[in-house]
Structure 1
Amino acid sequence: MNFDYRLFELINQFAGNNDIFDQMVSSFSKFGPILLGLVLVWLWFSKSGDKFENRKIVLFAVTITIFVLGVDKIIEMMYFRPRPFVDHAVNLLSTKSDLDPSFPSNHSAGAFAIAFSVFWRKRKIGSFLIIFAIFMALSRVFIGVHYPLDVIAGAIIAFIVTAIVYSQRRLLEPLYNRVILLFTKTNKLH
């Protein structure tokens, strides 16, 4: 028994004890990424703050999320770790998919990618999104589909990619500026 599995058991043992709480966590785990996407849509169309800056943050978040999920896929092709329910008796609150790798967690990586990318430019909302991403990661362990190391790896990958992408902002911002100006012009025509 390794530490990762012991920590998994510590969290997953609470699943299946309360139907209402189980449904809440399962729904959050399933629909949390959609909520994060809606935050980006809100930020794009928000009238508060600097609209141009808000839209640039959204473009950084989308870019970072695409790169993070790409890195995840490369890792999954090189290393396949079975889901916890394949090798262990778990309190499973999700449908089984034996073919999907457990490591790294795409849900966790995507959530942290958005959270870190927003935090880089907007600390207040970014802090809230980081807390959201932590709960997303914990929910994946709670429902029995990921080990703690899977979700931690997703967070680390997201942090590294965010740092790399923002370090190249001088190359990306001119492109983002053109996209935003094109959107603004097209939107004014309608």
Structure 2
Amino acid sequence: MHFDNGLYTWITERAQDAPGWVDTTIRLWSDYGLGLFAVLMVLVWWRARRDGGARLAMALAAPLVVVAAYVANDVFKMIVHEQRPCQTLHVVTVEACPPLGDWSFPSNHAAIAAAAAVAVLLADRALAWIAVPAALLMAASRVWIGAHYPHDIAVGLVVGAVVALVLTLLARRAVPLVERLGETKLRPLVAAR
């Protein structure tokens, strides 16, 4: 029994009462919205090529940071082995319930979205106004469709944000490597001119 069973049930009941187009929109966002973060990371890199330095190092590291956050989050999943709420509470959900053994805690979608949002925020604050709300909406969508408890998404957001914060700030130390890349055939990756 989880402390947020009632909140999960309340949210999934609201989803059942919502118009079909609302559920479809949220389900599509939940399933495919992570692609937005890939686009944002490409934009951050493209814009950072003009400035170089720490901003470019952080932009180049962003995809690796997101992968690291996913791996760290998945380690938690393998340790905790929390069943999905749709398995334990037997509620009707917007999306089909994942099979037994597809663990719930913490949410990978939330961790990936948070990691991408923090990486974008640190490398290009101008795009953070898209990335941060999108990460929160991604996390919330996972509860709406019935895939996660609220605490799953909260912890996923924290794991992703912390991993991204640490690794993105560490990436600033890679400026000499990025500058050396500018002297090779990979120059178009690190210089706009």
| SS of alignment partner, residue 33 of structure 2 | helix
CA-CA distance at 1:5 after TM superposition: 1.4
| Cα separation, partners in 2 of 1:187 and 1:161, compared to 1, 3 Å | closer
Deviation at 1:130, TM superposition (A): 0.9
Tell me the equivalent position of 1:184: 187
Note the C-alpha offset of 1:93: 1.8
Aligned counterpart, 2:68: 67
Distance 1:178 1:28, change over 3 A: farther
Q: Give me the whole-angstrom Cα distance separating, in 2, the residues matched to 1:153 and 1:84.
A: 15
176-185 vs 141-150, which deviates more? 176-185
Q: TM-score, normalising length from structure 2?
A: 0.84
Structure-1 separation of matches of 2:97 and 2:181? 41
Gaps of 5+ in 2: none
Q: Deviation at 1:148?
A: 0.8
Contiguous gaps of at least 5 residues in structure 1: none
| Of 152, 155, 159, the match for 2:154 | 152
Which segment is superposed worse, 51-60 or 10-19? 51-60
Q: 1:186 to 1:147 in 2, by over 3 A?
A: closer
Query: 132-141 vs 171-180, which deviates more?
Result: 171-180
| 1:86 to partner: Cα distance | 0.6
Q: Deviations over 1:44-68 (max 9, x none)?
A: 334x883536643432321211111
Does the 8 Å contact 2:41/2:120 carry over to 1? no
Runs of 4+ in 1 over 6 A off after TM superposition: none
1:1-190 alignment to 2 at 5 Å? 2-17=2-17, 18-46=19-47, 50=50, 52=52, 55-98=56-99, 99-179=101-181, 182=184, 183-185=186-188
1:35/1:167 Cα in 2 relative to 1: closer, same or farther (>3 Å)? closer
User: How many equivalent residue pairs?
Assistant: 187
Aligned partners of 2:63 and 2:189: how far apart in 1? 21
Q: Distance in 2 between matches of 1:149 and 1:12?
A: 15
In 2, Cα distance between equivalents of 1:178 and 1:74:
35
> C-alpha displacement at 1:187, in angstroms?
9.8
Q: Residues 44 and 6 (structure 1 numbering): CA distance in 2 closer, same or farther, change over 3 Å?
A: same
Instruction: Answer yes or no: is the 8 Å Cα contact 2:44–2:124 preserved in 1.
Output: no
Higher mean alpha-carbon deviation, 15-24 vs 179-188, is at: 179-188
Contact 1:55 1:180 in 2 (8 A): no
2:15 aligned counterpart, secondary structure: coil
Question: How far, CA to CA, are the matches of 1:142 and 1:186 in structure 2?
Answer: 39
User: Residues of 2 paired with 1:166 and 1:148: CA distance?
Assistant: 27
Any idea what the Cα deviations from partners look like across 1:88-130, whole Å, max 9, x if unmatched? 1223222332231101111110001010111123223113211
- The one-letter code matched in structure 1 to 2:141 is S
Cα root mean square deviation, aligned: 2.6
CA pair 49-36 structure 1, distance change in 2 beyond 3 A: same
Distance 1:170 1:128, change over 3 A: closer
